[in-house]
Amino acid sequence: MDLFEKCKNYTVAEEAREMGFYPYFHYLNSGQDIVVNMEGKRVIMIGSNNYLGLTSHPEVIEASVKATKEYGTGCSGSRFLNGTLDLHMELENELSKFLHKEDTVTFSTGFQSNLGIISAIAGRNDVIVCDKENHASIYDGCRLSYARMLRYEHSDMEDLERQLASIDKDKGILIVTDGVFSMGGDLCKLPEIVRLARKYGARVMVDDAHSLGVFGEGGRGTASHFGLEDEVDIIMGTFSKSLASLGGFMASTREVCEYVRHNSRPFIFSASITPACAASALQALKILEREPQRVQNLQDISNYMREALKKRNIPIRKSEAPIIPINTYDDWRTFVACKMLFENGVYVNPCISPSVPVGEAIIRTSYTATHTKELMDEAADIIQKVFAELPDCEYFEKLRKEHEQQK
């Protein structure tokens, strides 16, 4: 069999294009903001992770430009060898202080952070216990570690305990959970997770990609939100969301960070984040510390939009974060809804299987601290109009069958 046979048989994307429903790779003609120019038209952006609205902040842009002029466009090597700048060290020190941890290690991307942390910390004699709705990067980190992986039903603490109780006492155990789950926008049950970790001698790692700048004192994340900073062993986060840049990090004890620095293959064998990325993340962190009200603004505008959608009878899922999922159930129905919303001036993200279970497709909307109530009302009115015109799931099942027959 030809290795590329699978590529030849992959036709779903082209079929969606042929039917006019393909929802991916829309391109921007402007910077990331609350209103953008996308493919030549004005679009309200409610599909971005720019939670604090800092990607267009003049100080962040200035810091990025200044660093590029001073250090150049890249580091030309890994942190392990020639690729460490004083900027990287300053960023790590500031993150450690902000998160009340002894040390921090930065990685080139958020995805790579989970690969690098988990594959270094866990090995063949260890067990990793994961929430079923954890991010894909966590699962790939587990695979790379060669540790045994157990999964528990989403936020089901009884199932978590069953999994923990099944593990031999001579195994090292790492419980890994998203702080805020990226699809549903719900918070993990960290107090219960910590209690069970103590009971079974496990360590706890929290992926705060969608929590940093969103929850906790001054935006310090999930552990801070629950008053459990000293009980969480590893905090992972990204720069591509609240910190308006690109990269990721882990914050932990000095000995754990030192171990990861010297044993993490994704860290050792990857070029370090660019000077511009380090400087912009550092400046965004400084703004967050200086302007903690952005965290409250984010919660306020998210709650405003949540109520606006409820008033318009839009079928939203319960969530606590500035992520509000709208139920569409059917994959093709989701594609059509996203297309109609885009044509009417609102950008959202389609989430279909396998990122969500079959039959549980959603439109993922997300919000920014700098969104205004006027913009939210405009977007909510457009969503109401589109959902009023959107065909039901049975229509799309018929459409699929007709398309199959034509093929």
Residues carrying an active site annotation: 182, 210, 241
Q: Which amino acid is at 392?
A: D
Residues 6+ apart with CB under 8 A from 340: 386, 389, 390
Residues making up the chain, counted from first to last: 407
Place of tokens 């969103």: 214
Closest by CA to 107, choosing from 119, 97, 98, 99, is: 119
Where does residue 299 rank: exposed (0-12), middle (13-18), buried (19+ CB within 10 A)?
middle
Hey, what are 344's tokens? 């009417």
Q: b/e map of 100-110 (b: 16 or more CB within 10 Å)?
A: ebebbbbbbbb
Bridge partner residues of 349 (DSSP): 364
Q: How many CB atoms are located within 10 Å of the residue 327 CB?
A: 13
Where does residue 401 rank: exposed (0-12), middle (13-18), buried (19+ CB within 10 A)?
exposed
Contacts 24+ apart (CB under 8 A), 132-138: 133/178, 133/181, 133/183, 133/184, 134/176, 134/177, 134/178, 134/181, 134/207, 135/178, 135/182, 135/207, 135/209, 136/111, 136/355, 137/110, 137/111, 137/112, 137/113, 138/114, 138/176, 138/178, 138/207
Q: How many CB atoms are located within 10 Å of the residue 72 CB?
A: 12
Residue 344 · residue 385 · CB < 8 Å: yes
DSSP 272-330: PPPHHHHHHHHHHHHHHHH-THHHHHHHHHHHHHHHHHHHTT--BPP-SSSEEEEEEES
Q: Residue 336 and residue 178: Cα distance in Å, rounded?
A: 30
